[in-house]
Amino acid sequence: MAEVWHQPVMPAEVIQYLDPQPGEVIVDGTIGLGGHSKLIATRLGATGTLIGIDQDGAALALARENLACFPGKLLLFHDNFRNLGAILRQSSPQGIDGLLLDLGVSSLQLDRGERGFSYQQKAVLDMRMNPEQTFSAADLVNTFSQAELARVIREYGEERWASRIAQFIVEAREKAPLTTTDQLVEVIKAAIPAGARRTGPHPARRTFQAIRIAVNKELEALAEGLTAGITALKPGGRIVVISFHSLEDRMVKRIFREKAKACHCPPGLPVCRCKGKPELKILTPQPVVPTAEECRENHRSRSAKLRAASKLV
């Protein structure tokens, strides 16, 4: 099979903050096609271990091909990084030296229109990052109540017209189920007043983002995966997270800050387990963003923000 490739976001910055060393154990929790992992592998060498996780089986198969020349130990898991704790208990119970999470939709998912992630290509309304998952975007759009739809679109898409879009979706599906991306786009366009559609991003962008996040439970996965990953890091280990929208970035920022406090034990715990020591040192007080040159060459990097931290205890 011919190599399928894409340009990883902020590759130099990822290597700088993740700082993989020969013989270390590094986890790429969203390996995709292996763009970042291929760079990491060159630093790990024959004595290193690279653990890759992805819920998209097609991407995982391509990552295996793209990393075939890695001389070290390669372990790939078809799973969601929210299950990182269980995966590492099986594959690296002694802990890990680094964790990378490159969030959002992969290039493979966006470029294959039939996956239903893009509002610019007609396809079945799907949006499942794991095609084996039963619940799809069509299920959400056609079964959620108007109030539930409005909440999802408002909270996950930060869409000011959420209530109106939800109303139009319910009215449209009463005539016939919404089953394709172009049908949903037309409903969204009809719901947003013409004046508001003339400026800013594509009128469907925020709603599609919101539905995708809800279908794949992305924010829940991020909270669980981050917590498990930080716990698994050895002292001195590094964690790097690349997010693509404000909800993800705010969550990463909040969790990092909580773990960087002098005491990060759960409220009400009778005995302080951390002994008043912070668990993390934040390496990026402000998020790192792509250079202007990278944004020109890779337009999908434009909204990316990178945050990094190292494990103290």
pLDDT tens column, 2-34: 344 568 999 999 999 999 999 999 999 999 999
**Interacting residues of 290 by C-beta distance below 8 A, sequence separation 6+:** 9, 10, 298, 301, 302, 304
Residue 106 pLDDT > 70: no
Mean pLDDT of 133-157: 97
Q: Which of 2-11, 103-112, 170-179 is the most confident on average?
A: 170-179
**Interacting residues of 200 by C-beta distance below 8 A, sequence separation 6+:** none
- Rounded to an integer, what distance in angstroms lies between the CA atom of residue 27 and that of residue 144? 36
Q: In the chain, what are the domains?
A: 11-108+218-311 (3.40.50.150), 118-216 (1.10.150.170)
**Tokens, residue 36:** 């970042």
pLDDT recorded at residue 258: 95
Residue 230: phi and psi, rounded to 5, are -65, -40
- Rounded to an integer, what distance in angstroms lies between the CA atom of residue 26 and that of residue 43? 10
- Rounded to an integer, what distance in angstroms lies between the CA atom of residue 65 and that of residue 22? 22
**Mean pLDDT of the chain, nearest integer:** 92
Which residues are registered as beta bridge partners of 241? 101, 307
Own/partner long-range contacts of 147-156 (Cβ < 8 Å, ≥24 apart)? 152/210, 152/211, 152/214, 153/206, 153/207, 153/210, 153/211, 154/210, 155/210, 156/209, 156/210, 156/211, 156/213, 156/214, 156/219, 156/247
- Rounded to an integer, what distance in angstroms lies between the CA atom of residue 81 and that of residue 97? 16
pLDDT recorded at residue 2: 39
Between the CA atoms of 173, 177, 180 and 182, what dihedral angle is there, to the nearest 10 degrees? -30
Residue 196 pLDDT > 50: yes
pLDDT band at 299 (very low <50, low <70, confident <90, very high): confident
pLDDT recorded at residue 35: 93
pLDDT recorded at residue 1: 37
Which of 21-25, 120-124, 210-214, 302-306 has the least mean pLDDT?
Answer: 120-124
- Rounded to an integer, what distance in angstroms lies between the CA atom of residue 132 and that of residue 283? 37
pLDDT recorded at residue 272: 67
Tell me the pTM: 0.90
pLDDT recorded at residue 262: 81
- Rounded to an integer, what distance in angstroms lies between the CA atom of residue 127 and that of residue 113? 10
